[in-house]
Amino acid sequence: MTFFKNGYQKFDKFIEPNHLDVFAKSLDSKFVISYGNNNFFKLKDPYINCPEIIELCFSNSVQKIVTSFLGSKWAIGGCNLRRNILTKEEEKTVTLFHRDNNSSNFIKLFFYLNDVAMDGGPFTYVEGSHIDRRESGWTDGSRWTDEQIIQLYGQDRIKYLIANKGDLIVANTTGFHKGLKCQSKERLMLTINFTTEQERYGKFKLSKSTLDRLSEDDRFRCRFMEIV
């Protein structure tokens, strides 16, 4: 599978686009908070304030994908439902290249909630960098410029993953990646982590009422969450 070699894989027309509208609508709720330099806004406690995300996690299509990458012992990890806006503010976080170190064995699923071309800030990945580590002096949370990455890996290894609403991108984000800055169109995106171990940055909240509606097998896949 190309995923294991390249560190990412795209699945065209993975989900009916209108099935994603509920997530975009949640970004207009009172639970949306600003982040960083107000370059983007995200939904607080997404599994609680948009429980439809849990339904997506346990859909047959998502479970099949995650099991093929992580095996049968996977669980749901962190989540981010966000709107990246057009801004002149300098971005010092997600639009600079970085590696995630949430756990030693996890993947991230990216659902664009609108069509994303080059002007809309596509997810950008350095192909093969999840295996090929060329940098020295890397530390948790460190950020790398385009010039540094090009010097390390070359321009041809940088892949701009444009996609349409309804497509799915799966990535091993221990590899170098970033979100290209939005130029003329906002980007709405849902990302969900799936992992085989507790992630380093705390537990995401899940309501007990949602947990109680799940099957025993699905409750096991919520084992790394904080039940409230």
Q: List b or e across 49-87, with b for residues whose CB sees 16 or more CB atoms inside 10 angstroms.
A: bbbebbebbeeeebbebbeebbeeebbbbbbbbbbbeee
Is a pLDDT exceeding 90 seen at residue 13? yes
Sign of CA pseudo-dihedral 217, 223, 225, 228: positive
Query: What pLDDT, in 10s, does the model give residues 155-203?
Result: 999 999 999 999 999 999 999 999 988 888 889 999 999 999 999 988 9
pLDDT of residue 19: 97
The band of 33, judged by pLDDT with boundaries at 50, 70 and 90, is confident
Q: Determine which of 129-138, 145-154, 164-173, 214-223 has the lowest per-residue pLDDT on average.
A: 129-138
pLDDT of residue 95: 82
Query: What pLDDT, in 10s, does the model give residues 54-95?
Result: 999 999 999 999 999 999 999 999 999 999 877 666 666 778
Higher-scoring residue by pLDDT: 108, 185: 108
Question: Parallel, antiparallel, or unpaired for β 40-43 and 168-171?
Answer: unpaired
Enter the tokens of residue 120. Answer: 């809309």
Residue 60, H or E segment: helix 60-70
What average pLDDT score do residues 205-224 get?
97
Query: What gap in Å lies between CA 4 and CA 145, rounded to an integer?
Result: 25
State in words which class domain 2-227 has.
Answer: mainly beta
In whole numbers, what is the pLDDT of the chain averaged over residues? Answer: 92
What average pLDDT score do residues 24-48 get?
87
Enter the tokens of residue 130. Answer: 């999840």
The band of 1, judged by pLDDT with boundaries at 50, 70 and 90, is low
Residue from 189, 186, 211 nearest 43 by CA: 189
Enter the tokens of residue 43. Answer: 């939904």
Enter the tokens of residue 172. Answer: 């091993």
pLDDT of residue 34: 80
Give domain limits for the chain: 2-227
- Model pTM? 0.94
